[in-house]
């Protein structure tokens, strides 16, 4: 059998750190593998029949390098691995059988399009099943295969099963379903033969975004070995000779790096977990690891029940449990630095920076689990260091506390129970099946969540070990009893609460060796889990508890734990039953906390949401969704009257427990530890943060100290714990804002924090929300897309959170899996509010959250930090289109919370009839709306747009800076490229070959020049392509002429006509095969666009352009070859400015601005508007909200504060007018 290795990480890694340098690298495994079984070869440790290496660079297709020589003896492999870096790497060393010869065609990985495939194992009965399986392949897939192996045939079967063929990518759940169908087909064919020969199917498949690795067998006692390791990064520890020691380092609770290998690449056992047999390990594009069992129905079809219950794998777009009440986030003005005092430094010398990984407050003590394996404690009254507790051999991942003991887990696969009096280890439990990522104490039972998706429990016993000074050592395999369950991902968090009064007792208990405990096959992956002070401390023996486990699969499981003690034998019996599964968070559950005397469970996820689950009664119902964060929720800490939440973007929020309203916001800065130094430091090097640390600077964990009324938090890659004094925030029953609201100060300074104190203030003057929105760099431009895609997703999450806060039903869809998500939302507004009403008219709002790139050149301020200067708010997206989006949401919020307004006439103070509102916000408008229309079409088929009457767009601008406008027309646009290849097959030197042949650049410039009449007419170059101006409306309708006249008083009529009513052709640039002042390029691409107007036809216009190009190339006798390629084309749009919707907008603008709006057209294009309008068969109305000089797409983009505030009023008035029609 062969060996293979897969690396998938957020950051690229040098291949040598995987392929050649580690002690047990894939090269080492090629000649000295350790875990091959069922071998008939003479030397079972050799894999010398060739090798292969595959990786992804910036291109969508992977690069593959294969050779038939042994991997250990190939100098080119050594050279390549020392120079190439990638974030997704496949490596394979081959041991061929007699049926399959050694050739490069048979070397793995196999590749087609974006896909790569590797196999370790073999198919049984090959000669009997090969032909029937090949006959199932299409001609396209059949001819892809160049080799003769069973492995490549399996790859072909996978490509064949892809729903729409192998030339595109798919979401993770589609790839998973496809692989399961392949296994079903192979299993059915093999079982038909009725032989006993084993089939071993360890596959590795990727499309560059998702990785699937299987460990599957048919008619075999066991599968080939397969391991995985996950953490923050793969780092070198030391070097000895030609090999090095490596390990997986952990800096926070999220997974940034995953390595999958037939055998561990290092001897650090704590890093590696065996992949369960008959499972598929799937790594999603978010680097989320999930385990899917391979199961079959009686008809041999695969079981895919997981499709409906794993939010992390199959996002629903709108996860709900019951009908939760959604509260709006409340933000406050920035924080007072006087709340931070003290800097404490532990000056003891340490070998390496002891980064903080988890926190726990116990009375007046703070315990920190460290990356170096120690636990460090401080006195929270004096802020002096107390102890360094040593024992663990690797990073301390999680902490919990009982009445007398501190419990810790480590990546060395152990648990330690420390005496809180002596700080010594009392019990050591070694050789856990996997790393315990999360801990909680329920009565007399310790609950641990594992990386390998399991939960287990260890009972705390009364007895003699309370006073002994001897260390009690136990082996995990002797005390753990597994229990099956249905989790798919690592268990990130655990919470517990007593469910019967019998658990409340004041009798102290001590510790003795645990008796056999239970082992729950569940989920696991959490880190610093803190004790709330009310629950989690073992205060008695026996009783019933509710246990909640949160997993990377996005589910929360609710368990019932019953513990009873036989007084005669002192044996503790534990029973566990699964009570309920909760669909909780897309992307995974990261944190759980019990609050409010056990009545509520708080959960935080990678979707940026905080959910509040009511635990009263028999059911568990989501009562609130708090969408204030727009990044992973990594910590929740609860006190009696407040709770705090923290996200990876370093945002910390304080909430009222009784109302779930936000009362305080704090954003630690990089310099906060020095300028406001209330921090505890474990190292004198605490101000240095290694740049190599994944996610360095993002928030890691929090803990709440109820006695000192302070919040403690740490950031990734830091050795400091910072303390935020909240004593003046927390009172017996009430809260008061830290900073008194000052409305006018929100924008009085160019660098103000721009965060409002009061919820009503935040929505009525949404500057703070805009500051956050602008700070998310949602650039969708092709050149920067891969770098900014995570930011675009964050922008979508932020916007979704605001809509959740309004009570909207939200969905996120990907019309194209390789592009940005499209956000949909719907809600009803009316005399009494309420849910979406089927019979009410629907108003559809369209906008986009993506922005143009913002290179610093030309900007006077930071483009992604909203800055106020002289009444204008500067920042990328301020006018296009983030400012208008927030103005609309603020208007809707005001109508929901203040339906009556004293400033408005009586007949407008309340909606006359209910309206349904549908919001469509895409992330690809700046790049031709790729995938958006497909996503819209999906929900149109689901009835989301039923009853639609009008499409409203606010993505345009006024005619100038003084007159509000209404846009009723847009030009269409066609983007095209003219590709020219010269006569010479390669680039040539101008000195050697210049003048000896016709250069393609000259031919291309001649053709481009022929597009235009060089005699300028009215300051422009008319286009002289035959038919270019055909079908153009030469004159305006009389009614349109009337509305055009006032516009001509501001702008030149002829200039406006050229911009609005006539087509235009613009050349944007020429790309060439080489850029040098001495080289003649052989290949050239001219990029140009055509703006079209009513009543032109794009197809006919393109034919005329192509005919002109062909004619000109023939006229000049060019020997170059050429091709015209259409990149995109979008239709023009002309609205009916006389309809009721434009009249409603006209009335709203006049009411707010006190002036009649002008009716104008736009020279630009919005691709989705005509498609959307035609699909729904509804008119569109464009309501510009920003000024002409607001520099959309240009440096110093801005929006006037007056426009932002008045836009809220205009849109509110517009909706109220519609409700009366």
- 124 touches 198 (CB < 8 A): yes
- 451 touches 503 (CB < 8 A): no
Beta strands 720-725 and 710-715, pairing class: antiparallel
Of the chain, the end-to-end C-alpha distance in Å amounts to 75
Burial (CB count within 10 angstroms: exposed 0-12, middle 13-18, buried 19+), residue 163 = exposed
CA–CA distance, 100 with 1093 (Å, rounded to integer): 63
Instruction: Please count the other Cβ atoms lying within 10 Å of the Cβ belonging to residue 853.
Output: 16
Q: Count how many Cα atoms sit within 13 Å of the Cα of residue 988 in the half-sphere of its side chain.
A: 18
Q: Name the helix (H) or strand (E) containing 861.
A: none
CA–CA distance, 1149 with 986 (Å, rounded to integer): 61
Reduced to 3 states, what is the DSSP secondary structure of residue 1206? helix
The DSSP symbol for 21 reads S
CA–CA distance, 648 with 255 (Å, rounded to integer): 13
Q: Name the helix (H) or strand (E) containing 950.
A: strand 948-953
Helix 932-941 vs helix 1168-1176: crossing angle, to nearest 10: 20
Residue 873, strand partner residues: 868, 1199
Task: Give 10's contacts (C-beta < 8 A, 6+ positions apart).
Answer: 87, 256, 257, 287, 694
The DSSP symbol for 481 reads E
Copy the structure tokens of residue 125.
């009965």
Copy the structure tokens of residue 620.
């568990």
CA–CA distance, 789 with 792 (Å, rounded to integer): 5
CA–CA distance, 1221 with 1215 (Å, rounded to integer): 10
The closest of 181, 178, 183 to 123, measured between CA atoms, is 183
The DSSP symbol for 255 reads -
Distances (CA, A) of 420 to 276, 441, 446, 514, 1158: 38, 15, 16, 19, 75
The residue length of the chain stands at 1221
The closest of 126, 688, 125, 624 to 354, measured between CA atoms, is 688
Distances (CA, A) of 496 to 196, 362, 535, 645: 49, 17, 7, 19
Copy the structure tokens of residue 130.
């090969």
| Torsion angle of C-alpha atoms 1069, 1073, 1074, 1077, degrees rounded to 10 | -60
Copy the structure tokens of residue 554.
């996005």
Q: Name the helix (H) or strand (E) containing 1034.
A: none
CA–CA distance, 550 with 801 (Å, rounded to integer): 21
Copy the structure tokens of residue 1084.
């050239």
- 652 touches 610 (CB < 8 A): no
Distances (CA, A) of 595 to 531, 601, 613: 11, 6, 10
Q: What is the largest CA-CA distance in the chain?
A: 108
As a 3-state breakdown, the chain gives helix, strand, coil percent values, each rounded to 5, of: 20, 35, 45
Instruction: Please count the other Cβ atoms lying within 10 Å of the Cβ belonging to residue 868.
Output: 22
Instruction: Please count the other Cβ atoms lying within 10 Å of the Cβ belonging to residue 200.
Output: 22
Positions marked catalytic:
2
Does a cis peptide bond (omega within 30 degrees of 0) precede residue 109? yes
Phi and psi, residue 851, nearest 5°: -135, 170
């Amino acid at each position: 059998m062969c060996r293979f290795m897969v690396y998938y990480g957020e950051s690229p890694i040098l291949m040598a750190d995987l392929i050649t340098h580690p002690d047990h690298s894939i090269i080492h495994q090629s000649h000295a593998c350790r875990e091959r079984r069922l071998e008939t070869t003479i030397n079972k440790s050799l894999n010398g029949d060739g090798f292969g290496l595959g990786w992804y660079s910036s291109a969508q297709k992977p690069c593959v390098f294969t050779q038939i020589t042994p991997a250990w003896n190939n100098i080119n492999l050594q050279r390549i691995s020392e120079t190439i870096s990638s974030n997704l790497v496949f490596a394979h060393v081959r041991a061929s059988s007699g049926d399959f010869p050694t050739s490069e065609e048979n070397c793995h990985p196999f590749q087609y399009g974006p896909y790569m495939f590797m196999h370790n194992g073999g198919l049984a009965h090959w000669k009997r099943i090969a032909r029937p399986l090949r006959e199932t392949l299409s001609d396209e897939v059949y001819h892809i295969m160049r080799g003769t192996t069973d492995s490549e045939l399996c790859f072909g079967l996978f490509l064949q099963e892809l729903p729409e063929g192998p030339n595109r990518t798919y979401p993770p759940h589609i790839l998973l379903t496809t692989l399961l169908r392949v296994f079903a087909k192979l299993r059915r064919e093999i079982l038909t033969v009725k032989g006993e020969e084993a089939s071993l199917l360890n596959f590795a498949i990727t499309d560059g975004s998702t990785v699937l690795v299987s460990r599957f067998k048919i008619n075999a006692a066991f599968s080939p070995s397969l391991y995985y390791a996950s953490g923050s990064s793969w780092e070198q520890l030391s070097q000895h000779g030609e090999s090095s020691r490596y390990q997986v380092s952990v800096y926070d609770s999220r997974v940034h790096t995953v390595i999958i290998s037939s055998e561990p690449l290092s001897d650090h056992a704590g890093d590696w977990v065996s992949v369960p047999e008959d499972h598929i390990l799937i790594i999603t594009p978010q680097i989320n690891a999930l385990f899917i069992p391979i199961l079959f129905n009686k008809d041999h079809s695969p079981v895919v029940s997981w499709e409906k219950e794993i939010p992390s794998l199959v996002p629903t777009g709108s996860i709900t449990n019951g009908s939760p009440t959604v509260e709006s986030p409340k933000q406050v003005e920035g924080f007072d630095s006087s709340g931070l005092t003290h800097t404490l430094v532990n000056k003891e010398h340490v070998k390496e920076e002891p980064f903080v990984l988890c926190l726990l407050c116990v009375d007046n003590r703070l315990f920190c689990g460290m990356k170096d394996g120690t636990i460090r404690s401080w006195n929270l009254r004096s802020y002096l260091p107390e102890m360094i507790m040593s024992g663990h051999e690797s990073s301390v991942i999680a902490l919990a506390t009982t009445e007398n003991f501190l419990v810790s887990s480590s990546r060395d696969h152990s648990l330690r129970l420390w005496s809180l009096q002596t700080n010594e280890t009392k019990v050591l439990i070694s050789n856990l099946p996997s790393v315990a990522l999360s801990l909680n104490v329920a009565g007399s039972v310790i609950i641990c969540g594992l990386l390998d998706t399991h939960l287990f429990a260890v009972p705390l016993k009364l007895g003699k070990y309370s006073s002994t000074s001897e260390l009690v050592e136990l082996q995990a395999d002797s005390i753990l009893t597994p229990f099956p369950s249905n989790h798919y991902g690592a268990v990130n968090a655990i919470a517990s609460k007593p469910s019967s009064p019998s658990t409340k007792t004041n009798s102290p208990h001590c510790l003795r060796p645990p008796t056999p405990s239970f082992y729950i096959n569940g989920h696991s992956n959490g880190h610093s889990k803190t004790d709330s002070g009310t629950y989690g401390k073992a205060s008695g023996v026996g009783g019933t508890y509710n246990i909640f486990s949160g997993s990377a699969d996005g589910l929360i499981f609710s368990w019932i734990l019953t513990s009873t003690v036989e007084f005669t034998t002192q044996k503790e019996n534990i029973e566990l039953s699964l009570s309920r599964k909760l669909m909780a968070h897309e992307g995974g559950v990261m944190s759980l906390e019990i609050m409010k005397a056990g009545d509520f469970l708080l959960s935080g996820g990678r979707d940026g949401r905080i959910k509040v689950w009511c635990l009263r009664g028999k059911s568990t119902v989501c009562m609130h969704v708090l969408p204030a964060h727009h990044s992973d929720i990594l910590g929740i800490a609860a006190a009696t009257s407040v709770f705090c939440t923290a996200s990876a973007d370093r945002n910390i929020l304080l909430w009222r427990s009784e109302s779930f309203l936000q009362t305080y916001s704090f954003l630690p800065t990089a310099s906060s530890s020095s300028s406001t130094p209330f921090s505890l430091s474990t190292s004198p090097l605490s101000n240095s943060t290694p740049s190599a640390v994944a996610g360095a600077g993002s928030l890691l964990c929090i803990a709440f100290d109820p006695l000192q009324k302070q919040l403690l938090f740490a950031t990734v890659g830091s050795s400091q714990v910072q303390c935020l004094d909240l004593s003046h925030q927390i009172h017996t029953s009430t809260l008061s804002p830290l900073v008194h609201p000052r409305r006018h100060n929100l924008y009085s300074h160019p660098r103000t924090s721009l965060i409002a104190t009061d919820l009503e203030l935040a929505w009525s003057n949404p500057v703070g929300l805009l500051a956050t929105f602008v700070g998310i760099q949602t650039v969708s431009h092709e050149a920067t897309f891969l770098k900014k895609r995570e930011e675009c997703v964050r922008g979508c999450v932020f916007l979704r959170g605001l809509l959740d806060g309004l009570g909207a039903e939200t969905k996120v869809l990907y019309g194209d899996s390789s592009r940005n998500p499209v956000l949909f939302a719907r809600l009803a507004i009316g005399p009494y509010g309420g849910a979406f009403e089927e019979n009410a008219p629907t108003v559809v709002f369209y906008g986009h959250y993506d922005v143009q790139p913002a290179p610093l050149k030309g900007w006077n301020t930071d483009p992604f930090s909203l800055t106020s200067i002289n009444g204008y708010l500067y920042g990328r997206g301020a006018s296009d289109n983030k400012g208008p989006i927030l103005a609309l949401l603020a208007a809707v919020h005001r109508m929901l919370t203040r339906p009556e307004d004293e400033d408005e006439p009586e007949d407008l103070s309340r909606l006359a009839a209910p309206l349904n509102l549908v919001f469509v916000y895409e992330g690809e408008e700046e790049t031709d709306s790729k995938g958006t229309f497909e996503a819209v079409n999906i929900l149109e088929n689901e009835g989301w747009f039923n009853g639609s009457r009008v499409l409203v767009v606010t993505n345009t601008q006024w005619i100038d800076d003084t007159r509000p406008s209404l846009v009723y027309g847009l030009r269409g646009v066609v983007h095209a490229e003219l590709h020219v290849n010269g006569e010479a097959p390669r680039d040539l030197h101008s000195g050697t070959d210049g003048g000896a042949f016709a250069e393609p650049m000259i031919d291309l410039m001649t053709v481009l020049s022929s597009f235009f009449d060089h005699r300028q007419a009215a300051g422009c170059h008319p286009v002289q392509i035959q038919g270019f101006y055909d079908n153009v409306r030469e004159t305006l309708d009389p009614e349109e002429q009337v509305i055009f006249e006032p516009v001509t008083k501001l702008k030149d009529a002829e200039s406006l006509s050229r911009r609005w009513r006539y087509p235009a052709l613009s050349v944007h640039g020429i790309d060439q095969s080489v850029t040098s002042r001495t080289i003649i390029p052989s290949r050239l691409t001219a990029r140009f666009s055509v703006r079209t107007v009513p009543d032109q036809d794009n197809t006919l216009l393109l034919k005329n352009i192509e005919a002109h190009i062909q004619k000109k190339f023939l006229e000049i006798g060019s020997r170059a070859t050429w091709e015209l390629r259409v990149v995109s084309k979008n239709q023009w749009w002309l609205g009916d400015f006389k309809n009721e919707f434009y009249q409603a907008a006209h009335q709203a603008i006049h009411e707010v601005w006190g002036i009649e709006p002008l009716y104008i057209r736009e020279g630009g294009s919005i691709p989705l508007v005509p498609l959307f309008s035609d699909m729904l068969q509804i008119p569109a109305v464009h309501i510009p909200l920003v000024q002409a000089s607001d520099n959309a797409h240009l440096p110093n983009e801005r929006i006037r504060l007056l426009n932002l505030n008045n836009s809220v009023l205009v849109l509110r008035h517009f909706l109220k007018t519609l409700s009366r029609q």
